[in-house]
Chains A and B, each alone.
Chain A
Amino acid sequence: MRLQGRELHEEHVHPENISGSQTFRKRSVGLWTVIVIFSFFLLEGCAKRTFPKLSTEELTDRLIEVSDTQEQRLEISWLGVPRQIRGEEGSWIERNLEKQFNIDLKPIFLEWLSYKRRKPLMMLGGEIPDVYWVESSTDLRRDAHHGFALELPYEVILKHAPNYVEALNKYAPEAWLLSYYKGGNYGLPTFGALENGVLPQPGVWRIDWLRNVGIEKIPETLDEMHDALWKFRHEDPDGNGRMDTYGMSPKAGLSQKVRIDHSFGEIYGAFGVLSAGWVEQDGHLIWGGILPETKKVLAILKRWYAEGLIYPEYLLVGDDPNERFYLFTRGKVGYMPAYAHFDSYDHKFSGSLAGLMSRLHPEANYYPPGNFPAGPKGKRGGPIIGGAENVVVFGAHLALEPEKVVRILRMFNKMASDVNLHLQAKIGKRDVHWSWSIENGINGLPPFDDPFYGSRELVGINPTISHAISFFCPFGARKEWLEHYNSNKETDFDQTYRRAELSLKSPIPWPDMVPLAEKFYADLRVFQETVFAEIIQGNRELEEFDEFVKEWFARGGLELTEDANRMLKVKDDVFRQVGAVQGESRADLN
């Protein structure tokens, strides 16, 4: 009984074999030597990618000295926002920027998931683009630690991109924390303007369902909300005779898919707490997920879930609009939190909430956003992140080519001050690729309004300009530009439904901005999400929350809290260096 090769063992000792065994030994020594040498070459292949090591001062001097007259044509590889799935080299936007700044852009297009999984491996293999987009502080710290990211001192940015700094300081100064690593700055942080992250996400209700179950007014408090959701579940709001509807779905949020979990944000908001963020109490930061208010919210959610008011597999709902809106637009639930952003309610986008609803349930009447349920003490609100978005990083090898850094900084500077360039870099040329009218705002022109064609020529056309996901211009537009280019409808919408005063925001908006997050946060986040989900879904008792709090501290929460408070001081220091004003928030924007 042998594995296949009986003959393997039956082989008779052959005279030749005996004589050959010494030669084999010799040859095998040779073979092994070759293997070892090869291996070292292979692994040492990385060594040739060691980057020039300059002190911060040397680097600052080198970068500040550059007086770039744009005479030299520079080739720049550019890994932009990995969302333009059909992007191709040679688009109009690219050619335009190349002409204006005398550069030769080599765009690298990655799809979102390949970006998440493949980019680290690209870096591992030494393929560092000159300019690349980094999603979060966690990723930035990783790149800085491994030495791919060029340190970019504040002075350098202030010298070469003053207008950009001014805009960033005005709209999202806390973004500076995104690019902070060990006392230095490693890239250009970006801001989004008036995007989903900036405004709280109040709920939309199916008004026709409310009527069908005999409720005439939009629920205003948690109790009224509970009443409505209960009836959605038990009183057949869609009249099909089956008990197949649920009350609500939260904003989806699973660790792998989104940077932060804001599920049930409006319920937490009714108790004035952020479940996934640092909350300020008496000048001291404390994690919202461990506060007594959070326990109260969990008690409510646990009861609601048991009553069937929450969609049972809410955790598996994806983050794409189609997925996120799916339960609502399919008539599975009658309430969900939604963007207070006009895009969602604009019928011209067939993928928007309004576009979907008008085709799927033309008879349905749903309430536009703006209202949060009030808690027992009358509190209401929803979590927001603020404008801090991502970081644009320069490859460490550019220490040897400082003129490239400066050229790109100037490009950002101009995109942040020149509205025409900003629009060209995002959506192309007016009256060729898009047109504008006061009634409809910005609209794509044929054939570029076709997503397949448009995304090729314009690196992913979205005829909106406020976002920070444009490939070559990954930051938001200034307020005055938006005011000018918004349609009447959008302006009306903004005035009616934007409730910036109801937003709950942490002084450190992204939890992973805290340096020690690298060590503890990922684990703690999964831990919290799992425990909370299990409490809500009934696999754990509510009382286990207290143990959760203890364990949270034991698993690094204590160090993390101290670090977060240290980060507050760092923030003051960074703000001083870049000339940002503490406490200047986006509230005045709205």
Chain B
Amino acid sequence: MFYKRTLSGYLFDLLNLCFLTIVGLIAIYPFIYVLGLSFTTGEELAEGNFYLFPKRTSLVAYEMVLNDPNIRNGYLNAILRTTGGTLATLLMTSLAAYPLSRKKMPHRKKIVFFILVTMIFSGGIVPRYLLIHELGLINNRLSLILPLMLTAFNVIVLKNFFQQIPESFEEAARLDGAGDFTILFRIFIPLSKPILATIALWTCVLHWNQWFDGLLYITSDKKQILQIFLQRIVVENSVNRIRFGIQDLDMTMFSSEAVKAATVVITVLPLIAVYPFLQKYFIKGIKLGGIKE
């Protein structure tokens, strides 16, 4: 650094360090708490002494959550839509971005505007629902994938990246008789791996977290996604929806908080698990997608 070190400077550094440490702890505490909570027993919670780590651990909550056929289906469906959705997005975005990045594409400026408008204006839930209905996609897993295939944002980001690829690559390929499709798939896509990886990650996160479309378009529990079951359990307080029903739970070990926490943990797990390894792509994504000089 360029400035002189002074006592007040050191003091500031110290305070800054402390402050940021606290910020970090505040950011992470709820997760740790929920993780701990998912292993607690009903009794310990009732004593009201639980802050972070349970004294006695119990796997009842996980047993219950993982044995729930809905949660298992939901997990599977979430994975399906995330993989399917991401592949669809990558393909479609590439197909859209390549023509728009070519100067010879007629009216590309207007087309870019045509695409950008959709970022700001939308018709609302009712027409969107009717559309999905008319397409016959109600209660079809495709209804979760097709509407999210392209976003104006991804298209523009990738288009800009393609534009930075030197024209000499394209020219050389043309001399070899390659068409646009060959150029895109053989040259541009391999050259754009980092940005495609970033888009893929963003799409994965988007799909994994999407819940409202599941609420709207999916009617059967077999095709429903994890986030909706999560919402039923965690937000709507319906750990158990059988009204006068019999249940086979060991109630002494059971606590609805632990069940909620366990559901949260298993939902978050895939994201948190991959995040540290792919962190640089996420941050790169912001830099690319964000606003820069």
Direct contact of A and B (CB under 8 A): yes
Could you mark each residue 324-348 of chain A with 1 if its beta carbon is under 8 Å from any beta carbon of chain B, else 0? 0010001110000000000100001
- Specify the chain A residue showing the minimal Cβ separation from B112: A8
Q: Are B127 and A43 in contact (CB under 8 A)?
A: yes
Instruction: Enumerate chain A residues within 8 angstroms of B216, measured Cβ to Cβ.
Output: 118, 121
In the complex, whether B7 has a CB less than 8 A from a CB of chain A is: no
B251 touches A349 (CB 8 A): no
Q: Decide yes or no: A320 and B240 within 8 Å by CB, A4-B156, A17-B107, A118-B216 being known contacts.
A: yes
Instruction: Choose, from B54-62, B74-82, B129-137, B172-180, the stretch at the interface.
Output: B129-137
Q: Is there an interface contact between B221 and A85, defined as CB atoms closer than 8 Å?
A: yes
Residue contact A110 to B219, C-beta cutoff 8 Å: yes
Given contacts A111-B221, A125-B130, is CB(A320)–CB(B160) below 8 Å?
Answer: no
Contact indicator A111/B42 (Cβ below 8 Å): no
The reply to whether B251 and A46 contact each other, CB–CB distance below 8 Å, is no
Residues from chain A with a CB closer than 8 A to the CB of B131 are 42
Asked whether A356 is an interface residue with its Cβ less than 8 Å from the other chain, the reply is: yes
- The one of A5, A125, A352 in contact with B133, judged by C-beta atoms closer than 8 angstroms, is A125
A14 touches B241 (CB 8 A): no
Closest to A3 in B: B291
Cβ B127 vs Cβ A351 within 8 A = no
Of A111, A332, A360, A469, which one neighbours B232 at CB under 8 angstroms?
A111
Which of A42, A83, A118, A343 is close to B241, meaning CB atoms less than 8 Å apart? Answer: A83
**A85 to chain B: which residues have CB within 8 Å?**
70, 221, 241-242
Interface string of A103-144 (1 = CB under 8 A from B): 000001111111001100110111100000000000000000
Instruction: Knowing A4-B156, A318-B238, A349-B244 are in contact, say whether A121-B47 is a contact too (CB < 8 A).
Output: no
Once A42-B130, A124-B126, A330-B42 are accepted as A-B contacts, the answer to whether A462 and B245 lie under 8 Å apart by CB is yes
CB contacts (< 8 Å) of B70 on chain A: these are: 85
The count of residues in chain A whose C-beta lies closer than 8 Å to any C-beta of chain B is 73
Q: Which residues of A contact B104 (CB under 8 A)?
A: 16
How many inter-chain contacts with C-beta < 8 Å in the A-B complex? 154
> Is A451 a contact partner of B248 (Cβ separation < 8 A)?
yes
Q: A125-B129, A125-B138 are in contact. Are A113 and B236 (CB under 8 A)?
A: yes
Chain A residues within 8 Å of B133, by CB: 45, 125-126
Contact across chains for B251 and A321 when beta carbons are under 8 A apart: no
**Cα A126 to Cα B48 with chains together (Å):** 51
A-B contact list, 19 entries, CB within 8 Å: A5-B112, A7-B163, A16-B104, A21-B107, A45-B130, A45-B133, A109-B221, A112-B238, A117-B215, A124-B129, A242-B48, A320-B237, A320-B241, A331-B46, A348-B246, A444-B246, A460-B242, A462-B243, A462-B244
Using a CB–CB distance below 8 Å, which chain A residues touch chain B?
1, 3-8, 11, 14, 16-17, 20-21, 23-24, 28, 41-43, 45-46, 83, 85-86, 108-114, 117-118, 121-122, 124-127, 240, 242, 244, 316, 318, 320-323, 326, 330-332, 343, 348-352, 355-356, 359-360, 444, 449-452, 460, 462-464, 467, 469
